[in-house]
């Protein structure tokens, strides 16, 4: 999907760009003519992405204030950006609350909520000054309904969902467009593998029997469409699921 706005030259900062939806989004925007600052912690993967697509690699941890400041300085010196795409995040563990691991909850809140807040706070002056700035937050359907074994991720994504709604209200007077994309089941290279502590067999079972789960490219296509629309058009909240998933807890699996 393409749109008239993408015929212009736009610049996006895309976090989480070393893998999964973030990488797919950086690739797609670059292919459509955007200048893209690709942000993630793994410098080697960013360098490979840059060599293949022409994105500008900026290794950074969005939870670290010094890294965020350095990222902002890099983008400012290069002429600024009109779009911030917050994709960095993730889940750890599937424990129920009775067995919750504090370190997993701490990590999920720090990355999904505080990291998103820190980078958004840093770039808002730039986006306001642009006159037609956009913030897109990739959250999750986990932020809409709780499910067993998901409490920590639910809590983090509910928080990110609420933060995004508040941001839209706070920045409408500054003509900053705020979009939220909330995917359901997406089969990516690392999400479930990391959530399940590197257990590849358990990670494969998450998608077992599901006919055509979403891919990173599916979600990236929607993200790129949303930020590429004329600026006065705001897709406030976009829920994306595979047809086989009617709700977080309702997934059709074929044996």
Read off the pLDDT of residues 177-219 as tens digits, 9 standing for 90 and up.
999 999 999 987 766 666 667 767 776 777 777 888 899 999 9
Read off the pLDDT of residues 29-68 as tens digits, 9 standing for 90 and up.
999 999 999 999 999 999 999 999 999 999 999 999 999 9
Q: Which of 109, 147, 153, 207 is catalytic?
A: 153
Q: How many CA atoms lie within 13 A of 76 on its CB side?
A: 12
Looking at residue 192, its pLDDT comes to 65
4-251: CATH class = alpha beta
Surface-to-core class of residue 128, CB atoms within 10 Å of its CB (0-12 exposed, 13-18 middle, 19+ buried): middle
Active site (annotated) includes residue 153: yes
20, 80 in Cβ contact below 8 A?
no
* Per-domain boundaries in the chain: 4-251
Read off the pLDDT of residues 121-151 as tens digits, 9 standing for 90 and up.
999 999 999 999 999 999 999 999 999 999 9
Angle ∠(251,143,63) on CA atoms, nearest 5: 125
Question: What average pLDDT does the structure give for the chain?
Answer: 93
Looking at residue 9, its pLDDT comes to 82
Checking if the pLDDT of 4 tops 60, the result is: no
């Amino acid at each position: 999907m393409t749109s008239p706005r993408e015929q212009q030259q736009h610049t996006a900062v895309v976090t989480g760009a070393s893998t999964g939806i973030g990488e797919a989004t950086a690739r797609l925007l670059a292919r459509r003519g955007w200048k893209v600052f690709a942000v993630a912690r793994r410098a080697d993967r960013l360098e490979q992405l840059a060599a293949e697509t022409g994105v500008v690699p900026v290794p950074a941890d969005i939870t670290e204030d010094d890294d965020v400041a350095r990222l902002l300085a890099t983008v400012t010196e290069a002429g600024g950006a009109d779009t911030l795409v917050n994709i960095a995040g993730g889940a750890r563990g599937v424990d129920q609350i009775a067995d919750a691991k504090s370190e997993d909850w701490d990590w999920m809140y720090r990355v999904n909520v505080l990291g998103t807040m820190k980078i958004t706070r840093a770039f808002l002056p730039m986006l306001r000054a642009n006159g037609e700035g956009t913030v897109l937050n990739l959250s999750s359907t986990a932020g809409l309904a709780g499910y067993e074994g998901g409490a920590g991720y639910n809590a983090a994504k509910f928080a990110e969902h609420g933060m995004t709604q508040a941001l839209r209200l706070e920045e409408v007077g500054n003509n900053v467009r705020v979009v939220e994309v909330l995917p359901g089941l997406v089969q990516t290279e690392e999400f479930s593998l990391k959530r399940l502590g590197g257990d590849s067999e358990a990670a494969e079972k998450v998608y077992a029997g599901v006919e055509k789960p979403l891919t990173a490219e599916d979600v990236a296509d929607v993200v790129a469409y949303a930020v590429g629309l004329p600026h006065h058009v705001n897709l406030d909240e976009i829920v994306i699921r595979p047809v086989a998933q009617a709700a977080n807890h309702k997934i059709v699996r074929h044996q």
